[in-house]
Structures are given as structure tokens and as C-alpha cells.
Amino acid sequence: MAYRVEFRKDGAVSGEVHDLEDRATAKLVAVEQMARFDAEIAIVIDVDGSGVEVASITREAMIWDDEQISGAL
């Protein structure tokens, strides 16, 4: 598997990091690099799969959408 992190601000791509080996590493890089790219959102994309988004996090909430607890208030 390979992953890419796409950083976005105002709907436009503000930066990317490529060739990340696993999803956990991609998510770590996303959090660490959000400020560098002045991003509002970071999107983790599975490059080897269908190129689909597998996780995202917003700077405002700093909660991964794939880790939210169902049924939380």
C-alpha cells in the first residue's frame, strides 16, 4: 500500500506529501504538516487502491473522520 496526503485551503490544494508506506504514517504526517501548508483540511488518499480518500482531518476539529465514535453525543 502507498498513501498520499493532500492539504487544502479554501478548496484549493496547498500542498501534498507522497509515497507514505502506511495509513498510520500518513495520518501522522498529515497532523504534523497542516501548519506548514496552512491547510484547513488534510486528506489521506490510498494511492494503490482506487485513489479514494480513506481519512480526513480538519484543523478546526482535529478529529479523524475514520476514528469518530458512533453514538457519541
Q: What is the pTM of this model?
A: 0.86
Q: What are phi and psi of 13, to 5 degrees?
A: -70, 125
| Mean pLDDT, rounded, for 32-38 | 96
Q: Is the pLDDT of residue 18 over 80?
A: yes
Q: Are 42 and 73 in contact (CB under 8 A)?
A: no
pLDDT of residue 57: 95
Residues sharing a CB contact under 8 Å with residue 61, sequence separation 6 or more, in sequence order: none
pLDDT of residue 54: 94
